[in-house]
């Protein structure tokens, strides 16, 4: 087919997760169910926090945006995946492919630093509880949130620009269910060394910087908890950050596996499993983790239901 410049590639073919129609149907139903739960869970979390004034504090300010990011980046991937599983047309335009790559990286990178901000919030709440309202001011929360989005924008722009300079020859078939960096790099016939190094530096910096912030926050939290004399006090202090710690562990373990490795170690099967987990499953788990393990959210739901019940009785 000769050599193509990436700007002239009319489309790519996303091969997806399975070849047989039966398996595709099962995956379609499973992913559709997960996506519906994800939408309802994250949208519900945003609505509950918005409706209950008692949740208008920094922790839930960040949690609102976490739900928004989870909902956003899974919506960049899942609807297209569902379409590919249900139809025989698996092509995606060059512009569509790189738009998907751009917005996925934007939302995912932003979430990394948002999780760091949430870890710092928990650090202040446990280690400096008396100064918490002063330190976690509206201005600081807005600054941390804006910084997260700016870093996400820079990461996604650099990644998308680097990837768009690649050339492709012999095949336009992407052996993956969405346009991610690794399978596109494997597909390219260009010298991808410079692109790989650039992406590795930016992706690695994003993950490592946010992990350092999270690790430092939780080491300080652990040190503070160990100094508490009563067992009940330790349990209460740990419970305030347990949900966030669980969410961070799941998110970063799959992200590190997927991105902090060279192209030569790319494995289609393993990478697809990891990709399904962090693009489709984790956005569903986060609202469950933060609601089922959180008494304040449960109480907020109860208060909202009581208000609705009273308002109906008045009418």
Three state DSSP letters for 34-85: HHHHHHHHHHHHHHHHHHCHHHCCHHHHHHHHHHHHHHHHHHHHHHHHHHHH
Predicted local distance difference test score (pLDDT) of residue 11: 81
Predicted local distance difference test score (pLDDT) of residue 275: 82
**In this structure, what are the phi and psi dihedrals at residue 12, rounded to the nearest 5 degrees?**
-115, 165
Do residues 182 and 103 make contact, with C-beta atoms less than 8 angstroms apart?
no
Do residues 129 and 58 make contact, with C-beta atoms less than 8 angstroms apart?
no
Q: Is the dihedral of CA 182, 105, 49, 129 positive or negative?
A: positive
Buried b (16+ CB within 10 A) or exposed e, 188-206: bebebeebbeebbebbeeb
Structure tokens belonging to residue 232? 């009940």
| 184 contact partners, CB below 8 Å, separation of at least 6 | 97, 101, 163, 166, 174
Predicted local distance difference test score (pLDDT) of residue 3: 43
Q: How far apart are CA 192 and CA 102, in angstroms?
A: 18
Q: At the fourth CATH level, which superfamily is domain 8-314? A: Rhodopsin 7-helix transmembrane proteins (1.20.1070.10)
Local structure of residue 170 (DSSP, 8 states) = S
Predicted local distance difference test score (pLDDT) of residue 173: 84
Q: How far apart are CA 315 and CA 299, in angstroms?
A: 24
Q: How far apart are CA 31 and CA 87, in angstroms?
A: 15
Q: How far apart are CA 25 and CA 257, in angstroms?
A: 28
* SS3 state of residue 175: coil
Predicted local distance difference test score (pLDDT) of residue 5: 45
* SS3 state of residue 260: coil
Predicted local distance difference test score (pLDDT) of residue 1: 39
Q: How far apart are CA 185 and CA 51, in angstroms?
A: 45
Sequence ranges of the domains in the chain:
8-314
Structure tokens belonging to residue 51? 């409706």
pLDDT tens readout for residues 6-48: 445 568 888 878 778 888 899 999 999 999 999 999 999 999 8
The residues of the chain scoring below 50 in pLDDT are 1-7
Q: How far apart are CA 63 and CA 58, in angstroms?
A: 9
| 305 contact partners, CB below 8 Å, separation of at least 6 | none
pLDDT tens readout for residues 286-297: 888 877 666 777
Greatest CA separation for the chain: 74
| pTM score over 0.75 | yes
Predicted local distance difference test score (pLDDT) of residue 4: 43
């Amino acid at each position: 087919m000769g050599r193509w410049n990436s700007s002239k590639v009319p489309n790519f073919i996303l091969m997806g997760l399975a070849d047989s129609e039966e398996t595709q149907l099962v995956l379609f139903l499973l992913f559709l169910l997960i996506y519906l739960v994800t939408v309802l869970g994250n949208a519900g979390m945003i609505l509950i926090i918005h409706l209950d004034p008692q949740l208008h504090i920094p922790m839930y300010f960040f949690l609102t945006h976490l739900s928004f990011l989870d909902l956003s980046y899974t919506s960049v991937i899942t609807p297209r995946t569902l379409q590919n599983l249900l139809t025989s047309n698996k092509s995606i335009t060059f512009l569509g492919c790189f738009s998907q790559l751009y917005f996925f990286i934007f939302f995912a990178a932003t979430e990394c630093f948002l999780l760091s901000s949430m870890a710092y919030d928990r650090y202040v709440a446990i280690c400096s509880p008396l100064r918490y309202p002063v330190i976690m001011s509206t201005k600081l929360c807005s600054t941390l949130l804006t910084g997260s989005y700016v870093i996400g924008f820079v990461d996604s722009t650099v990644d998308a620009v680097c990837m768009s300079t690649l050339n492709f020859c012999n095949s336009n078939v992407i052996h993956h269910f969405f346009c991610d960096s690794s399978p596109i790099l494997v597909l390219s016939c260009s010298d991808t060394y410079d692109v790989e190094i650039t992406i590795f530096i930016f992706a690695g910096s994003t993950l490592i910087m946010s992990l350092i912030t999270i690790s430092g926050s939780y080491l300080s939290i652990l040190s503070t908890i160990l100094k508490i004399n009563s067992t009940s006090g330790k349990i209460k202090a740990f419970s305030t950050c347990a949900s966030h710690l669980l969410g961070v562990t799941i998110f970063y373990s799959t992200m590190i596996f997927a991105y902090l490795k060279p192209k030569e170690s790319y494995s289609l099967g393993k990478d697809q499993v990891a990709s399904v987990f962090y693009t489709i499953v984790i956005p569903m788990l986060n609202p469950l983790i933060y609601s089922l393990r959180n008494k304040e959210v449960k109480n907020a739901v109860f208060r909202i239901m009581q208000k609705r019940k009273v308002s109906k009785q008045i009418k």
